[in-house]
Structure 1
Amino acid sequence: MPDLDFLLKPRSVAVIGASTQPEKVGGMPIRLLRELGYAGRIFPVHPTASEIQGLPAYATLAAIGQPVDLAIVAVPAVATESVMAQLARNGTRAAIFFTSGFAEVGDEGLAMQVALAESARRHGVVLLGPNCLGVMNLRERMFATFSPIPLTGVPPAGDVGLVSQSGAFGAYAFALAREAGLGLSHWVTTGNEAGLQVADVIEWMAQDKDTRVILAYMEGCRDGARLRQALAAARAAGKPVVITKVGTTEAGARSAQSHTASLAGEDAVYQAVFDEYGVHRAHTIEDFFRLGYTLSRGRRPARWHSPSGLLADAVAPVAIVTVSGGVGIMMADRAEELGMPMPPMPAAAAKALRESIPFASTANPIDVTGQVVAQPAVLLDAMAGVATCGEYGSVVAFLAGGANAPRLWEELQRTIRALHEDKRAAPLLLSGVVDDDKRAWLEAHGCLVFREPAHAIEAVAALARAAAWEAAASVPVAEAAAPVGALLRDVPDDASALSEFDAMRLLADAGVPVAAHGLARDADEAVALAQRIGYPVAVKLCSAQVLHKSDAGGVALNLTDAAAVRKAFAAMQAALARADASLPFEGALVARMVRGWGELMVGVRRDPVFGLVVLAGIGGTAVEIFRQMAFGLAPLSPERARAMLEHSRAAVLFAGHRGNPVLPLAQAADLLVRVSKVAAALGPRLDTLEINPFIIGADGAVAADAVITLLPAGGSRA
């Protein structure tokens, strides 16, 4: 992990390209550092000026006469190479390059950026940028940026770290954090990422004692392993990460050679990574800050569980107390959408509420009605009762504007103060209209406040997931299996695929159940195989060069006698000749026709950023129509595999629907795990692996088809 202390906690800052005019790029950081309370030394560097903004100026970095922790560089792109040499000679450990005109302008700029990055690595300089907006450390009042936004006010120093690839988004986020009163620890923009990436900053913040929650804005990632390492570090440190990842279409997916390649779009892969490490995904700027607020200030639920056994699916049982039946229903709808249990009110508490207000609803949501205006104690007793009964992980109360009523506010303060002091009580979240002073008091006593009722329910869901990940922070993330070259020992280095026979054999050797099958070189052998396997059978063209056999007329199904097998074998020879007359005929695969009531697809594709990604869902010929796939990173854990089956709705195939027998879902999950381990073992040679379909029948799931495509040994396919 790069050491970012010199970047984010410098004792001295040099501004190379300093300007006497504070509004310019080389002038603004000097003004900010001076006016906003930075305690370290500031060294303006300018070739001719003797003084800049009231500070002595230096003609060169060397003229300062001592090493400087951080250099801010605001000179033209063509001068940056000589500046980097100066930094190396001076012993400067970190540099921020505001300068634009690099990779964002074309090939020439890219070449300069590559040279700058190499020079920084060679000289041991931590490089941020180029083309970035800089950094801020709110606790140390260190503002190394040319954005003027801090001049209009800064957020309070807090425990939320913010990193953004985009400077414009970063500046906007800074302003919104200030408006929301969200306390920031550090603020970093990475720009072109010639040196530091978002992942480097996330990992540093994971170790930073002043940061508890990490917010990140990403447009893309070119080093998936690095990002995974950073997210694992945050997970191990028990620090929630919220990411807004833009670019959610399938534009990044490669053109389809198989269902596997076409279905695993870029965003689905990112989501699989986020799920693997417990990242909270924010799809809007409002979500971004609301999640930051929730995770920074919110108490974790007193109780939570995961129906799937997967941490990302953790939920907390919630009690909803409301003064409006309609709003309570809306909140309950959102809770159900999020899978959050809503146990009924305990009998004793329900009896007491009905005695006070006979027409109140004691189900969950608990509707105390508008009678609360006349009887505030009823609302408060209901809130306290469900918070302390031990049945609920969290309590959400909708008060409308009731908190502004003086009598209710006084009683509410007493109740909330008591619950805050009772460490066994479930956390309380409020929804309603309150003024800033009341909000501050409520938050100081552990009570989050939301104007939108559904947002309070969503906050409970986020806190439940955070609690699950924090409780399991010490559990290591599964590591990828080491490649096993023996699996491909007989495969040529330039082979682009395995034949279906070889693919099925490889899977069978790994313990994946496959349909009974054999390879026939002539028609007599095909008939003998069919008789040994048992009719009906399928006969399929066997060729590593013709992967989509159905399209080429290379598949014959439900053959019931020898004559049909002979005819099909001849058809396979003709199909190969039509596809490519130059290809040698390797034979035909003869396989038992597997009977069942459902089809499951399992695939693996190599993502250019994150490596091997597994997808699973309902399969067969309709897979491209429904596209209901779930994703995970290879190799899968049993919990992740089971969750994939549930998220893709493929689990219904094993649940005994339409009178079919119930099959163990754990058995199906084990199939996914085995396939993912085969993929991981194939290592850098694997391009895609697809089994479509697994036939689901009374004996479980059996692979009826398999396609494995390969990359050349020692390289990648163009």
Structure 2
Amino acid sequence: MVDLNSLLYPRSIAVVGASTQPDKVGGMPIRLLRELGYEGRLYPVNPSAGEVQGLRAYGSLSDIGEPVDLAIVAVPASASQDVMAQLAGNGTRAAVVFTSGFAEAGEAGVRMQDRLARSAQEAGVTLLGPNCLGAMNLRERMFATFSPIPLSGVPPVGEVGLVSQSGAFGAYAYALAREAGLGLSHWVTTGNEAGLQVADVIAWLANDPNTRVILAYIEGCRDGMRLRQALDAARAAGKPVVITKVGTTAAGARSAQSHTASLTGEDAVYQAVFDAYGVHRAHTLEAFFRLGYVLSRGRRPALWHCPDGLDASAVTPLAVVTVSGGVGIMMADRAEELGLPLPPMPEAEAEALRAAIPFASTANPIDVTGQVVAQPRVFMDAIAGVARSGAYGSVAAFLAGGANAPRLWPELQQTVATLSEDPKAAPLLLAGIVDDDKRAWLEARGCLVFREPAHAVEAAATLARAAAMEGARGAGTPQLPTSVMHADLSRDLPPGATALSEYEAMRLLADAEVPVALHGLAQDADEAVRTAERLGYPVAVKLCSREILHKSDVGGVALNLADAQAVRDAFARMEGAVARTRAENGAPVPFEGVLVARMVRGWGEVMVGVRRDPVFGLVALVGIGGTAVEIFRQTARGLAPLSRERARAMLRESRVAALCEGHRGNPGVDLDAAAQVLASVSELAANLGRRLDTLEINPFIVTAQGLVAADAVVTLRPDGISAP
């Protein structure tokens, strides 16, 4: 973890390029620090002025006469190298570089940024930027930024740390946090990330005692391992992370000769990473701050058993209590979409409600009806009853504008106050119109308030997920790739090869105890016939080649062959196909024989693949297989190697589990065994080391004996490559 104490808790700050004009880039930090209460030592550095904004100015950093913790650099890009040399000589520990004109400005800027980064590293200076808006520590009143937004008001000091690659987003987010009253601990923008990356800030916030929730905005990531380690640290610390990731199209995905690559686009890989580490993803600014609000102020529900690696929210029951049947249905619909169970009201509580209001609905949603106006205590008793029943993880209540009604508000206060003192009571989430003073009173007692009823339901799911993550405290966290290599199989791969033949790929699978179709390699027609007779007809005959991966394109696949003559004919066609390919390409394409395999009979096809993402490493994919894979695109992804629990969850997410459970008279397949097959494939991929590019089995046939691999493709990368 990079130490950010000098950056975010500096006892002394030098502003290099300090301006006498407070509204200038070099002047605003001094104005903010002075006006907003920074208590550390402040040194303006300006060789052309004796005084800057009422403070003594220094001609250079060396003139200060003592090391400073943080330097704010607001000089032209061309002067940045000289400033970095001064920082090294002065013993400065951290620097914020506002200056633009680096990597975003072209090749010359890239070279200049590289020199800046090297100089900072050699000098031991923690570098934020360049081309960034800076950083703030709200608790210390430390404002190392040139944005004037803090002059309009400062958010309350709180436990939410905010980090953004974009300065513009960061400034806007700061203003929205202030308007929403969301308490911030730290605010950091990373800009060009020549030094610190968003991942470094997340990792540091994960260990910061003043931060409980982390909000992050990212546009991309150059170092996937760094981000994974940061998210791992946050998860281990029990601190929820909310991320808005922009650029969600598949434009960044590599084009490759496999379904795995085409189906796993850039955004899908990010989502797999977020899922692996329990990240809460926000697709809008509104959701970004709403999630921050929920996670920083909301009470966590009791932990519920979560089988099969399912999201905790899917097994954390919710009680919906409402004064409107229509809104109750709306909330129930959203709960069903999120997988939140809605069990009916327990009988004792239901009987009490029916005794008070005979026409109330005691199903879930629990509709107390408009009778709440005449009998507000009954509504509150219903809320308290389900909250204390032990049958629900959370209670979401809709009371329209009732909170502001003179008769209902005292009853609501009493109920919320009593529930807040009961550690066994389920958290209460309120939807309706509530004025600011009442809202503040409710929130201070752990009762979150929403205008949109569906948001109360979504908050219940979010809190259930956070409770599961915080309860685990790192248990079950995905292992990082450096720790999962059980065997290095890369040395057994053919040097210089860009792919394996299907026979070689099937042998790898079999050695990894992945079930494969019975098969053999034949170099001539007679051997092909002998192999077919040994295996038993019908058989498949497939061209075996490291050069021709799409065998069907050249007539290299023959299925359901029932006799020796059919096998001989297929062999001849495939030998001829290789000769034609050799003639057309003008390059040597050796004939490596054919793979003869017994036909596998089953009632479904599954595709399993693992591909190497250039940023995050190996990503596993599972979905409905065969020729329909690109049509249905019903897939699930996970970081490889997979645990059996994650593999099982992916089978359910992709609906492959439905195939395994049997239908139309077909018997079911052991789902644990199927999950183990998927986990074994992903572990094999990890053990093949950095040489592996893609490993794809399409199809795995679903049979009474389980999943059986009927086809496999393995593509390789050049020897000695060091990418993830």
Q: TM-score range by the shorter chain?
A: over 0.9
Q: Describe how 1:338-417 pairs up with structure 2 within 5 A.
A: 338-417=338-417
Report if the CA contact (8 A) 2:537-2:563 is conserved: yes
Consecutive unaligned residues in structure 1, runs of 5 or more = none
Two-structure CA RMSD over aligned residues (Å): 1.2
Displacement of 1:314: 5.2
- SS of residue matched to 1:378: helix
- Aligned residue among 508, 512, 515 for 2:514: 512
Query: Residues 156-197 of structure 1: CA distance to partner in whole angstroms, max 9, x if unpaired?
Result: 000000000000000000000000000000000000000000
Query: Residues 39-77 of structure 1: CA distance to partner in whole angstroms, max 9, x if unpaired?
Result: 001110001100011111001011011111000000000
Query: Residues 214-260 of structure 1: CA distance to partner in whole angstroms, max 9, x if unpaired?
Result: 00000000000000000000011100000000000001100121111
Q: Describe how 1:450-529 pairs up with structure 2 within 5 A.
A: 450-475=450-475, 476-480=477-481, 483=485, 487-529=489-531
Q: Which residue of 1 aligns with 2:136?
A: 136
Aligned partners of 1:26 and 1:308: how far apart in 2?
A: 56
Q: Which residue of 2 aligns with 1:532?
A: 534
| Cα distance change on mapping 1:646 and 1:240 into 2, 3 Å | same
| Cα distance change on mapping 1:101 and 1:223 into 2, 3 Å | same
Q: Which residue of 2 aligns with 1:660?
A: 666
Report if the CA contact (8 A) 1:319-1:364 is conserved: yes
TM-score by length of 1: 0.99
Displacement of 1:580: 2.3
Aligned partners of 2:61 and 2:616: how far apart in 1?
A: 41
| Cα distance change on mapping 1:208 and 1:339 into 2, 3 Å | same
Q: Does 1:590 align with 2:592?
A: no
Report if the CA contact (8 A) 1:278-1:311 is conserved: no
Q: Which residue of 1 aligns with 2:327?
A: 327
Q: Describe how 1:116-265 pairs up with structure 2 within 5 A.
A: 116-265=116-265
Displacement of 1:306: 2.3
Aligned partners of 2:147 and 2:491: how far apart in 1?
A: 58
Report if the CA contact (8 A) 1:694-1:702 is conserved: yes
Q: Which residue of 2 aligns with 1:712?
A: 718
Q: Which residue of 2 aligns with 1:619?
A: 625
Displacement of 1:493: 2.2
| Cα distance change on mapping 1:387 and 1:313 into 2, 3 Å | closer
Amino acid at match of 1:76: P
Q: Which residue of 1 aligns with 2:546?
A: 544
Q: Describe how 1:234-313 pairs up with structure 2 within 5 A.
A: 234-310=234-310
Report if the CA contact (8 A) 1:307-1:314 is conserved: no
Aligned partners of 1:667 and 1:281: how far apart in 2?
A: 32
- Aligned residue among 578, 581, 584 for 1:579: 581
Aligned partners of 2:351 and 2:635: how far apart in 1?
A: 47
Amino acid at match of 1:206: A
Q: Which residue of 2 aligns with 1:554?
A: 556
Displacement of 1:627: 1.1
Report if the CA contact (8 A) 1:239-1:470 is conserved: yes
TM-score by length of 2: 0.98
Report if the CA contact (8 A) 2:302-2:467 is conserved: no
Query: Residues 87-127 of structure 1: CA distance to partner in whole angstroms, max 9, x if unpaired?
Result: 00000000000000000010000000011001111110000
| Cα distance change on mapping 1:22 and 1:260 into 2, 3 Å | same
Aligned partners of 2:141 and 2:490: how far apart in 1?
A: 58
Consecutive unaligned residues in structure 2, runs of 5 or more = none
Amino acid at match of 2:688: L
- SS of residue matched to 2:664: helix
Aligned partners of 1:327 and 1:84: how far apart in 2?
A: 61
- SS of residue matched to 1:302: coil
- SS of residue matched to 1:692: strand
| Cα distance change on mapping 1:327 and 1:176 into 2, 3 Å | same
Count of matched residue pairs? 717
Displacement of 1:356: 1.1
Aligned partners of 1:465 and 1:486: how far apart in 2?
A: 36
Q: Which residue of 2 aligns with 1:317?
A: 317
| Cα distance change on mapping 1:472 and 1:716 into 2, 3 Å | closer
Is 481-490 or 70-79 further displaced after alignment? 481-490
Aligned partners of 1:407 and 1:310: how far apart in 2?
A: 43
Q: Which residue of 1 aligns with 2:40?
A: 40
Displacement of 1:348: 1.4
- SS of residue matched to 2:15: strand
Aligned partners of 1:420 and 1:462: how far apart in 2?
A: 19
Report if the CA contact (8 A) 2:216-2:243 is conserved: yes
| Cα distance change on mapping 1:488 and 1:217 into 2, 3 Å | closer
Report if the CA contact (8 A) 2:303-2:471 is conserved: no
Report if the CA contact (8 A) 2:490-2:690 is conserved: no
